């Protein structure tokens, strides 16, 4: 399988909303409120790291969290939405 180096799609921006205290994905004509650590995951999607590198970094940051299964699944769903390339 070809390595995937996820990056936010064109026109998609990640922002932190200080008032709500959460991260947002700003899309053309839509705003998605992210839950939990989704913003932390997406900040690592810079087009330079592949999925295993993202998982490794998150495993380091969040020891004991099930990132090896949850993060690839989450990234796949976000890609299916067209928000990652």
| CB contact at 8 A, 6 and 47 | yes
Residue 21: per-residue pLDDT: 93
- Closest by Cα among 21, 16, 71 to 44: 71
CATH code: domain of residue 23: 1.10.10.1150
- Using pLDDT thresholds of 50, 70 and 90, give the confidence band for residue 19: very high
Residue 55: exposed, middle, or buried by beta-carbon count in 10 A (0-12, 13-18, 19+)? buried
pLDDT in tens, 39-84: 999 999 999 999 999 999 999 999 999 999 999 999 999 999 999 9
- Using pLDDT thresholds of 50, 70 and 90, give the confidence band for residue 2: confident
How much is the pTM?
A: 0.91
Report the C-alpha gap between 55 and 10 in whole angstroms.
Answer: 23
Domains in the chain: how many in total?
Answer: 1
Please indicate, yes or no, if residue 5 is contained in any of the structural domains. Answer: no
Residue 13 above 90 pLDDT? yes
Residue range of the domain that includes 37: 13-80
């Amino acid at each position: 399988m070809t390595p995937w180096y996820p990056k936010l799609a064109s026109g998609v921006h990640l922002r932190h909303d200080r008032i709500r205290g959460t991260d947002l994905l700003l899309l053309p004509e839509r705003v998605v409120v992210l839950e939990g650590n989704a913003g932390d995951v997406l900040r690592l999607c810079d087009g330079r790291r592949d999925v295993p590198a993202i998982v490794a970094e998150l495993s380091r940051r969040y020891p004991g969290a099930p990132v090896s299964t949850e993060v690839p699944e989450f990234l796949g769903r976000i890609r299916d939405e067209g928000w990652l390339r």
